[in-house]
Amino acid sequence: MRSIADQTVDELGGPGSVLVRQRRDHVELDRLLHELDGATGTAQEEVLTRIDRLVFSHAFAEETVLWPVLRRVLPDGDALTLRVEREHQEVNELVSALEADGPDDPRRPDRLARLVEVLREDVRDEEDVLFPRLQEAVSMDELRRLGRRWVVMRRVSPTRPHPTVSRRPPGNALSGLPLTVLDRARDLVDAGLRRAPEQLVPVGKGVSAALAALAGLVERIPLSRTGDEPPTSR
């Protein structure tokens, strides 16, 4: 099997193929990780935010669109997807810890280093193992159909870490819509805070915190946690 990193767009099924779309996100992630290296202070926070918005919507689309197909068409699909789900889970937990403990926490450098390591492992597992296996198992037409479904799901996916939510149906499907609405509302509020007059900042922070609290409630609903295998269940 050849890694999808070494194949042409035509070999992967054309521009609309899910493999081409996935690889494009991986290239952007690599660029952001290089930008993160050496960044400090506000610049580091801004790069991390862009990484989060890319990574979490990308992973949610994988888990809801691609992983069920892999589990259906490959005899070892369950084990293959579980390995990546563990990586996704660790990314969720690392980013949650970074956000909760703030930029001055002494564990931050180690957590950032581990985050970069896991993200790169995730890309390699997908490009070198999972996606070549998917490519062997389905037609190019199916890769393009999956690409259309994946890009729609990616546009309506959560953009923040939710470590207690299931990585599999039905939990991820049931929690996806409310978490997407709350996350993207927070994204708009937080973006507005960076441009808002100083007197409005406390109000904006209060709104963002309230949206975060609502997302926490959604995460704790028992249905949001259903479907996971024990290694990724929280």
Domain architecture of the chain: domains with CATH:
1-159 (1.20.120), 162-234 (no CATH)
- CA-nearest of 4, 18, 13 to 151 is 18
pLDDT at 196: 86
pLDDT at 228: 77
R_g over Cα of the chain: 18
| E strand map for 127-234 | none
184 near 159, Cβ under 8 Å? yes
Distance, CA of 83 to CA of 78 (rounded, Å): 9
Average pLDDT per consecutive 10 residues, the chain (234 residues; last block may be shorter)? 96 98 98 95 94 97 96 96 95 96 94 98 98 98 98 96 92 93 95 88 94 94 83 61
pLDDT at 232: 65
Q: Is the dihedral of CA 50, 55, 61, 66 positive or negative?
A: positive
Write down the pTM of the prediction.
0.93
pLDDT at 234: 59
pLDDT at 194: 83
How distant, in Å, are the alpha carbons of 140, 185, 190, 202 from that of 195?
45, 16, 9, 13
